[in-house]
Chains A and B, each alone.
Chain A
């Protein structure tokens, strides 16, 4: 049973470009969470999604960031017009149907904005 998969593992973008980060949850998991780790900081919650629904986006920046988890395919975290402050490690986690369950983390995508 493959774990949570994220790609790419490393992504370099220039200021103003778009970044798309993908997350495939564990088989059978319908809940996906995105977290961000800025340099020298801890993991910060961004958004929680279920299939085709955004449940909690209280940690998402108001502009340029969006997330989706379509019926088919991976969850996508999209950052438009990236700025240097977006450079961070972005982690995805998935869980089965209960919110009390542990979250299984992917290896992360390290975004560098030049």
Chain B
């Protein structure tokens, strides 16, 4: 994998459903993996920064896991709510300069 790739591109779920997205990134020269939440007309908001293989992080109903050896991260949302509707971006930091390579994002729409 040469780029950061996210799947699916978009997702529609019902309120209360749990969902997950995938982020694939180059495993060589890995430095950090960032997840951002981006609501329309707002700024991207950081959710997690993960660096260690096997890392798991949680914030409320949202959690993320990291596998640096195979180059993927999962983001889980438990019991989706309409306010979770947003685009979720992952970004790989592949050097020590802080430069982030972003995926195209997964756009989540939660229907009440």
Chain A contact residues, CB within 8 Å of chain B: 3-4, 31, 33, 35, 41-45, 48, 55-56, 58-59, 91, 95, 99-108
Chain B contact residues, CB within 8 Å of chain A: 31-32, 34, 36, 42-46, 49, 51, 89, 91, 93, 95-105
The interface residues of chain A lying within 8 Å CB-to-CB of B89 are 42-43
The CA of A101 and the CA of B31, in the complex, are separated in Å by 11
The CA of A44 and the CA of B100, in the complex, are separated in Å by 8
**Contacting pair A42 B100 (CB below 8 A):** no
**Contacting pair A106 B43 (CB below 8 A):** yes
The CA of A63 and the CA of B108, in the complex, are separated in Å by 37
A33 and B98 in contact, given A42-B104, A103-B46, A104-B46 (Cβ under 8 angstroms): yes
Question: Which residue from chain B places its CB closest to the CB of A92 in the assembled complex?
Answer: B43
**Contacting pair B102 A43 (CB below 8 A):** yes
**Contacting pair A45 B93 (CB below 8 A):** no
The CA of A106 and the CA of B104, in the complex, are separated in Å by 19
